[in-house]
Structure 1
């Protein structure tokens, strides 16, 4: 019986259960910025990057409208050739974007050895006109690294013959194009995007992007690469951005645009549960298995301040501040748990804790 139970538990863990799913959905006109911030950051934070400061007469550059095709409210991102700029900071480009950042909850920030799914819908106008320089619609960008200046992944539209949608990638400081497809079949329809990233160095990182039509579920792009580097040296985390961020170098060929977005989803799927177990036993925590008390050999270079314990189905079971080496776990029922060390900016990889 004990052998059967062990086999079942091993299979259950190897299935890579998902945790911490966060969804941002439009809910109707008004308080759009407040809604976005309430989901993507803490109360004092602001994840909105818009040209409102230079175009106050227009009002907010992100609002919510009802879309009859989806049968629900969606987010509408506005950009105007003039006078919009980049937050009154840069005037050769302009942006209307949302993001996560250092004040966002840990589960919205990608960390090394973590697998994250980003999913969203968007719709370009049937006459959408991209710049011949860049018109970014989505980015994955590192924070805290010397390589911050160059996004890890960029989904960008570019004027050409024909117009293209490109997946751009930067291993370090320079970009290459991983894949590009004709943009024209993507215009005027709702698209469903599924982006799956395992953040890691070469050999442990991977990237997968699927684009399908929302109505017919027709696959338009499927790109997978498990031989690229998806982590930036010394990064605190990697975070997503969505919206429209374009160059004004091609201003004569641009027009005022609206891009519709809906149903943003960020879902963490943790990997590597078994490999960290030996590290956990020897360096971080003992005993394991444990009954009433565990002892944490805290690594100060990581500045971790909290211990977070989850069930294997993703429920937060216990959260305690690291104030001493010992931690009372007598209230935990026997079973397998996932333990994380964290601070306000990042979280460690998951470690398996066995309670008996």
Structure 2
């Protein structure tokens, strides 16, 4: 079976009209297309960076605020500048885009513009017909993100075409972790985040990324993010839409659909992680799909150095805690959204549950949406072995001196 078509959709900067693109995304998904949704108010640089890292076939832009001729053209130009002009650009904008605008946009390299009233099925059909074809052989790229993104695509495609199976995937070393064969590049620290849907995993990751970027003047971090899908169907890969701090050149992010595999990860996750381990990243963060009571996404093949379980205070009765397997396996348990009314009770109940395990597990309360949340600071300190508070103090002293 061929790999699903992958496209990126976004709304330009200074434009908050996302109703139309959300409807269009759902139609694409119904037609078997994997949609990486970047969200609204996104710059040209954000869009092109994401498209390159995701190695999509095309970018779909929904623009309702004007300035579309220039904005679309800048996206096309930046793709060309980076040597990624095999990624096509299409879009629409209701009544704000005129026929004369379309003529100008096509001259600048835009592939297609859909006018108001175009049937959703017609848009999906166009995407399937024009971006579902096998790509022509692409010349090697010297840009590291393009080269890495294409290698990740080859891995995912090999699983989709059944050239690989999970039984043939690269296995960990005897210590249980993927290790880098290139001694000149240090092994990244691999952090696995899992937990039920709606617990705030993506927001928490974005805040951890902010602290990493603030504490390290150099270096890069990678994120493998997962969303659910079934074999042969589309998927909404939407974690990028809620991320702000991760829109940075020092962050490499890849969105992956599970493509029918249970447990919260993709069939290709392990081999994709092996590729990232051969690149110069300080950390690799793996985020699973929203998981249930039975899920053990990282225990089976031991692919992470540290497992973080993120929970919402509203998990139900105390009996439910006894059923959550990951509470036995996680190194760190995070009660996110700890500003909610039931948070104190949740902390006490989870603490008592962890005491029964007789392991050196850590329990942390966070409010990931809150600026400079001390709980997120403590979590970053545990993961990195550094004090984020000291980093902020040094920065404030520099600001005062200047």
TM-score by length of 2: 0.28
Answer 1 or 2: which has greater strand percent. 1
The answer to which structure, 1 or 2, has the higher relative contact order (CA under 8 A, 6+ apart) is 1
**Structure 1 or 2: more helix by fraction:** 2
Q: TM-score by structure 1 length?
A: 0.31
